[in-house]
Structure 1
Amino acid sequence: MDMDKLVSLCKRRGFIFPSSEIYGGINGFWDYGPLGVELKRNIKEAWWRDNVQMRDDMVGLDCSIIMHPKVWEASGHVGGFSDPMVDCRECKGRFRADQMTALVFTDRSGPQGATNPRPLVFSAIGEREDVERENAKAIEKFKKANAAQADCDPDVIRLDNLAITDELYALVPCPSCKARGTLTRPRSFNLMFETNIGALEDASSKAYLRPETAQGIFANFKNVVDTGRVKTPFGIGQIGKSFRNEINPRNFIFRSREFEQMEIEFFCHPEESAKWYQYWRDQRFQWYVRHGLRSDRLRLREHDANELAFYSTGTADIEYSFPFGVSELEGIANRGSYDLTQHQKFSGKDLSYFDEERWERDKAGLGLTSFKEYVKKREGEPQPGYPYQYIPHVIEPSAGADRATLAFLCEAYNEDEVGGEVRNVLKFHPRLAPIKAAVFPLVRKDGMPEKAEAIYRDLQRHYPVFFDEKGAIGRRYRRQDEAGTPFGITVDGQTLTDDTVTFRDRDSCRQWRVPLAGVVQAVRDLLEGGSVPAADRPAAAEESDAT
């Protein structure tokens, strides 16, 4: 799929616009248009319904974007939430050093294949798949131009490797302007946006826009336990905006500076964390499949040991094959007790969990009457209250609403031919489609517009629907195909005689008749997974009305 075509369609049809476009735009920020805001809202609502509303072991939360600065000290974001950055002195470009690689070819073009100490270097930057693709092209080009080197593979170095010599580093070209010797050495760049609270702008008023939603959940763990009548295992779900001052925002809405997260923090007994990690890893993968992403375009990649955070015993990425390469859609991590332990340490508040039911069940067998006796008997042990009192382990499925939106757009985009005419169509899962049905009068006379509007108003009480009476019916179908509307409903001449309307399916262009009185129920059945009936009319028949 051509990414440029998708971006163009998103702009033309009102899915996504560059932010502040009339002022030239602002890099890394995007606005969702009338169709885009509905699509993204449907994705978030589907996530919330499946992961919070329909589960007895989940509750919701909505935390503030600005929190006490100590939250970010405890989480490690103030001291460690940074990327290595390099600047180009020539073009003023800024790049993440950990996403830049250089290919070093040794030039053996001298007499008798003598080695020239001056290497030939190529650089690339981007997501892993981007870099691999660019490197492969460069290697192929180099070998074609240097037959003697056809069997030689280059050394691949990452620019955040501090062991690179100054001599070699000076040869690495800027990935943007290609100038050599213009890149600065990597330096740490904190990704959090700073702000100030109140009228004074000094160290005491410094605060941050949150770089993730998770920490608000950890900070409210005790509040939820005390008020929500929850018991482990249980989870807290949250959807909200986060902000990261990305060095290189790119790939449309995939990597931006303002984005929306859909996160779960699932709290469980330490002995059960491995089981729940596997559970959530598989559940989240299947959620994307159920909502229309093909399983052969998804992959579940377990992190290698050298990729894991020091506190994690397991992390997996759900990756999707975007047009720009296979990249992360969602991460699922077993975070252990790290986060709650850190916040307990920095806040001075007890964030342990006491399993009262388990204690009441076991105390008689232990020959004890109070939990204090149990703790006293185990005095001196690292966790004297274990296994009844403990810091829960956390499983974190963390998804990006914007990345999910992009993945569903990529999956839905199709070009096919109907009646000899190429059409663009977005084949969204009906649950996610921005508009559920469009209503058309075939012509603007004979009372058809009035009947069509009555149907539209009836449906509007239940679903997002669209009314269109302008233009040839075939063109109106095409407009809704591009918007991803799964069903069209047309009031035509037959409606006036037998009170039935024509239903049209977006994906197959199949058409069939439905009684006026059953329109709302028919739409409901289709949206809830009912099958499309056999056609009363060939798909090509609509083309006769297209002009």
Structure 2
Amino acid sequence: MPAESSATTTPAVSMDSIVALAKRRGFIFQSSEIYGGFNGFFDYGPLGSELKKNIRDCWWNDMVRRREDVVGIETSVIMHPKVWEASGHVAGFSDPLVDCKVSKQRFRADQLFFSPVTVDGAIVGYVSALESEDTTAKLQAAAETFKRKKAIVGTLAPVTPKDFTEATSDQIPLIPSPGTGEPGSLTEARAFNMMFQTNVGAMTDGSSVAYLRPETAQGMFVDFKNVWDTGRVKLPFGIAQIGKSFRNEITPRNFIFRSREFEQMEMEYFIHEDADWSQCHQEWIEWCRQWLISVGLPASKLSLYAHKKEKLAFYSKGTTDIMFEYPFGVQELWGIAARGNYDLGQHALASGKPQEVFDETSKKKFVPHVIEPAVGVDRILLAVLCAGYAEEDVTDDKGNVEKRTVLRLSPRIAPVKVAVLPLLKNKEALVGRARALYKKLQRRYAVFFDDSGNIGKRYRRQDEIGTPWCVTIDFETIEQPGDTFTLRERDSMAQRRITEVELFALLEEHVY
């Protein structure tokens, strides 16, 4: 097989590169693309759906099947509307919305930033910019442009970014709209409820109103007593769920990071009211961080953000987010919240059905408290694409340099585990042995058979979709004793001979 060696790697990954790869290789498509797309909705192609399934399966296996204290359930997307009244979503599940009266565009107020333009200590105007990885730089550039166009003489002070929720009523008419670039058209921020409303049954009046769930958590709270009574569980224990949620986001953005239809993996871990919630909270933070590392996210790109007490909901004891360094900035990936007994208490109050459990030790009833790790499948998928993507200059044994795109996905979640490649497609002995191995691997793993093009191009195709290993059936396989194949490793591009038994042992070790 041709030898390869890696040379220089290109610098920071751009979102344009990720989006292009996702479309080119069938990971992610814009929903309803032939009709111009539908903002905030995405379809997952053959490789994307396989990658997404692998992420879900890894989480479910590690969170539920390999633990003795967590059980899984699946609840309905549409629930009784009183569920959402009790949880506070009907009254309070909202984002601050700002309208541009001229362009008719809408913006989230906490993602719209502004700054005064200050020259020689005097405010001469305002500039605005939508949140991005370089918001401050954009505001500074806008301030310099403002000063130049107005022919203002003096020293320009550095901008002081604030989001629109901090704008005073006197400042709002002076802040330019991102939609027009001119001041005077932005409204004051108002609450916008993000739940999708629908109707159940033949009538479309107020009595038939229901909602698509904005989170999966409430289904687990509502079914808590059912699980307690039937599941042979005892505290502490968790209820886990994977499922679709829907939020009518004002400004979906950053590809699949913030969309209107998404998939969540949530777990509610119920503990005794006298348990050390802080210790339990910290243990789940670390468990979640280690799990992200196990599916291929580098620890260097992960960080923790503890929410300030004054920003927490009144019932929350603490919330910590595991943050990931995306190309568009460091953003929340996984939230772990200590929610007290608020949710069960609210549903007990609203439904009239007690949510207490009996403690044999203290001989008293109480409502359990909960620790909630909640993460989006789509955000993890985007994170592994961003972390794994690289472009490299590769030199062959003849000194020729070519560029390869490689996706360094963990074998645990890679959509294709092994590509089986007969060296030549017109040699029946090679193709037959390759087909036999392919069929045997297919029983347990997602594998790919490719006999089209030269072997180097086939390697490149597999590199780009994240396949960890390629197995080439060559003449040594069929002519020499031992029935060995050439195993080519994606990241190092190293090659070695391997038997079928050794191949299955390799997969058993790394794909779990």
Matched with 2:331 is: 327
The residue type equivalent to 1:48 in the other structure is W
Matched with 2:476 is: 494
Q: Computing the radius of gyration over CA atoms, which structure comes out larger, 1 or 2?
A: 1
Deviations 1:265-319 (A, max 9, x none): 1110122212211111111112112222111111011111222111111111111
Matched with 1:467 is: 449
Matched with 2:394 is: 418
Q: CA deviation at 1:410?
A: 0.3
Q: CA deviation at 1:133?
A: 4.9
Matched with 2:222 is: 219
Q: Distance in 1 between matches of 2:344 and 2:311?
A: 22
Counterpart check, 1:91 vs 2:97:
no
Residues 415 and 56 of structure 1: CA distance in aligned 2, closer, same or farther (over 3 Å): same
SS of residue paired to 1:318: strand
The residue type equivalent to 1:308 in the other structure is L
Q: Count residues with an aligned counterpart.
A: 489
Matched with 1:352 is: 356
Aligned with residue 127 of structure 2, among 111, 122, 146: 122
Deviations 1:373-421 (A, max 9, x none): xxxxxxxxxxxxxxx3211111110101000000011001011122221
Q: CA deviation at 1:169?
A: 1.5
Deviations 1:339-367 (A, max 9, x none): 111001100001011122x24xxxxxxxx
Moved more, 59-68 or 174-183: 174-183
The residue type equivalent to 1:121 in the other structure is Y
Alignment of 1:176-195 (within 5 A): 176-195=179-198
Matched with 2:488 is: 504
SS of residue paired to 1:39: helix
Q: Which has the higher contact order (CA 8 A, sep 6+)?
A: 2
Matched with 2:70 is: 58
> Quick one: percent identity of the two aligned structures?
52
Q: CA deviation at 1:180?
A: 2.0
Q: Is contact 1:458–1:520 with CA below 8 Å preserved after alignment?
A: no
Deviations 1:177-228 (A, max 9, x none): 3132111222221100000000100000000000000000000011010101
Q: CA deviation at 1:519?
A: 3.7
SS of residue paired to 1:22: helix
Q: Is contact 1:259–1:400 with CA below 8 Å preserved after alignment?
A: yes
Contiguous gaps of at least 5 residues in structure 1: 360-370, 372-387, 529-547
Matched with 2:433 is: 451
Residues 107 and 487 of structure 1: CA distance in aligned 2, closer, same or farther (over 3 Å): same
Q: Distance in 2 between matches of 1:391 and 1:525?
A: 43
Counterpart check, 1:148 vs 2:154:
yes
Aligned with residue 2 of structure 1, among 8, 11, 14: 14
Contiguous gaps of at least 5 residues in structure 2: 1-12, 396-400
Deviations 1:438-461 (A, max 9, x none): 001100133211111111001000
Q: CA deviation at 1:87?
A: 1.3
Q: Distance in 2 between matches of 1:226 and 1:448?
A: 59
Q: Is contact 2:301–2:325 with CA below 8 Å preserved after alignment?
A: yes
SS of residue paired to 1:149: coil
Q: Is contact 1:52–1:59 with CA below 8 Å preserved after alignment?
A: yes
Matched with 2:4 is: none
SS of residue paired to 1:42: helix
Moved more, 303-312 or 391-400: 303-312
The residue type equivalent to 2:169 in the other structure is I
Residues 134 and 355 of structure 1: CA distance in aligned 2, closer, same or farther (over 3 Å): farther
Q: Is contact 2:172–2:187 with CA below 8 Å preserved after alignment?
A: no
SS of residue paired to 2:321: strand
SS of residue paired to 1:431: coil
Q: Distance in 2 between matches of 1:296 and 1:58?
A: 29
Alignment of 1:309-320 (within 5 A): 309-320=313-324
Deviations 1:48-72 (A, max 9, x none): 1111111111000100000000000
Q: CA deviation at 1:526?
A: 4.7
* Root mean square deviation, CA, Å: 1.9
Matched with 1:514 is: 498
SS of residue paired to 1:292: coil
> Would you tell me which structure has more helix in proportion to its own residues?
1
Q: Distance in 2 between matches of 1:346 and 1:324?
A: 42
Q: CA deviation at 1:500?
A: 1.5
Q: Compute the TM-score of the two structures, normalised by the length of structure 2.
A: 0.92
Q: Compute the TM-score of the two structures, normalised by the length of structure 1.
A: 0.86
Q: Distance in 1 between matches of 2:152 and 2:14?
A: 32
Moved more, 416-425 or 173-182: 173-182
Q: Is contact 2:357–2:367 with CA below 8 Å preserved after alignment?
A: yes
Moved more, 215-224 or 302-311: 302-311
Q: Is contact 2:417–2:469 with CA below 8 Å preserved after alignment?
A: yes
Counterpart check, 1:30 vs 2:12:
no
Moved over 4 A (4+): 136-147
SS of residue paired to 1:266: strand
Q: Distance in 1 between matches of 2:23 and 2:98?
A: 32
Q: CA deviation at 1:176?
A: 3.2
Q: Distance in 2 between matches of 1:92 and 1:501?
A: 62
Matched with 1:75 is: 87
Q: CA deviation at 1:492?
A: 0.8
Counterpart check, 1:279 vs 2:255:
no
Q: Distance in 2 between matches of 1:497 and 1:489?
A: 17
Matched with 1:242 is: 245
Moved more, 9-18 or 176-185: 176-185
Residues 133 and 345 of structure 1: CA distance in aligned 2, closer, same or farther (over 3 Å): farther
Q: Distance in 2 between matches of 1:147 and 1:448?
A: 78
Counterpart check, 1:408 vs 2:389:
no
